[in-house]
Structure formats: C-alpha cells, structure tokens
Amino acid sequence: MPDPPAPLDLSAVFGRPGPFEVEIGFGKGRFLINAATEWPQTCFLGVEVRDVLRDYVALRLARDELLNARVMQADARQFMHHAIGDGTLRAVHFYFPDPWWKKRHHKRRIWTQDLFRDYERVLEPGGLLHLASDVEEVWETLTALAEQCPNLVRAEDSVLPPLCTTNFEDKALRDGRDVGRTAYRRV
C-alpha cells in the first residue's frame, strides 16, 4: 500500500512563512479577494471544487496583483485530510456550503464530522474556524459538528467584520433571510 501524500509545504507555495488561512468553497472569490487585500501579511489559500470558479478567481487575483492569495481546485474533504498538516493554519473559513436540498443529493454535502475533525486538527492553538450559513438546517448542523470537536470552543468575539462578507451573505440579507455567523477557537 502506498504511503499517504505528504502535506503541502505552504511556505514553499507562497514563498514566505505564514500565517496561513484557508477558505473552503470560495465561489466567486469575494471574501478571498477582500481578505487578501485587507490583510496583505496573511497568506490565503482558496479551495474550490469547480474549475470554472477557480479559473475566474485566479484571473481576478492576478489582475489585482494579490500575491498573498492562491486558489486551487480540489475536493475539500480530501484536501483537508491529506494536504494540510497538523496545526498549520491560523484560520479556516467555511461560508455558505451548498445545502444540496434534494434527498438524493445529500451524499454530496461536504459538511461531515470527519471534515470538522480535520478542521480541528489543522488549526494551530488559538486558530479560528469561521462558519456562516443562511439555511437554518445547515447552520444548526455546522454548529453541532463544531460543538462535537473537543478542542474547539465558541468564540463569538472573533466573527469577521462586515468588510469580508460573501456574495451569498449579501443576497441572503437583501432577501430578508437571517444569517448565522460565528467562530470556534482551537484550544
């Protein structure tokens, strides 16, 4: 049986030491681009399963000359499990995951206890897992999954400022839907 792949050397990927943060499912990249612009000292890696969105955001990052952000196409579950080493990240951003409404599509939902255990594992002590959703069922599941991780504690004071909203968040607010947003700190 082959050895599992070695975790990414994020210092080599960015050509400098961290801090490193990962956004899972960056969509059109609004949060990723705004965060990279606002915090140039932080290295941001976006992971998206759809190649068309990866390419779109890569072009925007190049256009804006944001050298502290990279994007890649990958399944978040495999990526977090194999590509990120223990205690490597200052933050993970997991915003508005696809609810996959139809029962036959529920198997596509990436929000699982295994993924949250990987979030817990890859965060450095004091690191933050940021969560947001406008779908009550999803929100309740996300927070329940985080609560089941013994080394994650709710950190309400660590929610990002409004500067870093996503397209989905703005649409939900325009449509009058509540948005759940919180963070969990790695202890």
Give the residue numbers annotated as catalytic, written as ranges: 98
> For residue 172, how many other CB atoms are within 10 A of its CB?
19
Nearest to 29 by CA among 10, 46, 4: 46
**End-to-end alpha-carbon separation of the chain, Å?**
35
Q: Which amino acid is at 106?
A: H
CA distance 121 to 22: 13
Secondary structure E strands in 59-106: 69-73, 89-95
Is the Cβ–Cβ distance between 129 and 152 less than 8 Å? Answer: yes
Distance, in Å, from the CA atom of 166 to the CA atom of 145, rounded to the nearest integer, reads 22
